[in-house]
Amino acid sequence: MLLVVALPLSAVAAGNGVLSADLSIARRIQSLDHPVVDALVRAGNLLGSTLFLLGLAGMVLLFSAARRHWADAALVLAAAVSQFLGLLLKAAADSPRPTPDLIRVTAASDGAGFPSRTTMAALLAYGTMFYLATRPGNTSRPAVRWPMVAVFVLAILLVGYERIAVGAHWPSDVLGGYLFGGAILLLLIAAHRRLRAAG
């Protein structure tokens, strides 16, 4: 279902044009001026940085391997590697990023815009941890598990918001990152469940 929305969105986003909805939403988001909003943008920038996400994946990978949860370790590794599929998707769509003549751009970014690879990577990383924290058989206490789940969801949302707020991506780029990231994650989860059932 995610791909049913993602593929037509790719076709609409492809090329040099800018969607009117993108312009309107981006300007509205950038019009919010408050210290709390600025703090959320900074948090989103940190949570979506490649080094932070890879470091987090590395820690979860080592933790899973130490507990001999090989299927979990394989899922974390596959999710980390899958974020680079965003580069292929970007090349296929070849859509423009925001420019200073249209909205405020405070974060210099290179390459095509659609889909946002940062958003896609965040969804894959935090979505994987969300799944591992909530899957059947998880023995962690609810008092620990559910606050962690809330943090994962918030992190995914903050990264997407930050990409728009700093003018690095259009809202459709972020939506594309969520859709493609979600579709890939669901495939990886299905493979993880089969691997656990087989082992």
Give exposure, 90-114, as e/b (b: 16+ Cβ within 10 Å): beebebbbbeeeebebeeebeebbb
Tell me what percent of the residues of the chain surpass a pLDDT of 90.
66
User: Mean pLDDT over residues 26-33, rounded?
Assistant: 95
Q: Could you tell me the pLDDT band of residue 28, with boundaries at 50, 70 and 90?
A: very high
Work out how many domains the chain is built from and give that number. 1
CA dihedral (58, 69, 78, 195) in degrees, to 10, reads 180
Place of tokens 């992190």: 155
CA distances from 118 to 81, 100, 132, 146 (A): 13, 20, 21, 25
**Stated pTM of the model:** 0.91
Q: Hey, what are 124's tokens?
A: 């894959």
With CA atoms as reference, report the closest residue to 119 among 170, 186, 58, 60. Answer: 170
Highest mean pLDDT among 14-18, 51-55, 133-137, 193-197: 51-55
Q: Hey, what are 36's tokens?
A: 């709390």
Quick: pLDDT tens for 60-114. 999 999 989 899 999 999 999 998 898 999 988 889 899 999 999 998 788 889 9
User: Mean pLDDT over residues 35-62, rounded?
Assistant: 94
Q: What is the pLDDT of residue 107?
A: 85
Report d(CA 171, CA 20) in Å as an integer: 11
Query: For residue 169, what are the domain limits?
Result: 2-198
Q: What is the pLDDT of residue 100?
A: 93
Q: Could you tell me the pLDDT band of residue 6, with boundaries at 50, 70 and 90?
A: confident
Q: What is the pLDDT of residue 35?
A: 95
Report d(CA 123, CA 157) in Å as an integer: 9
> Are the beta carbons of 122 and 182 closer than 8 angstroms?
no
Q: Could you tell me the pLDDT band of residue 47, with boundaries at 50, 70 and 90?
A: very high
Q: Could you tell me the pLDDT band of residue 16, with boundaries at 50, 70 and 90?
A: confident
pLDDT at position 136 over 80: no
Q: Which residues contact 33 (CB under 8 A, 6 or more apart)?
A: none
> Are the beta carbons of 90 and 22 closer than 8 angstroms?
no
pLDDT at position 7 over 90: no
Please indicate whether residue 14 or residue 147 has the higher confidence score (pLDDT). Answer: 147
Q: What is the pLDDT of residue 110?
A: 81
Q: Which residues contact 118 (CB under 8 A, 6 or more apart)?
A: 48, 50, 159, 163, 168, 169, 177
Quick: pLDDT tens for 155-165. 999 999 999 99
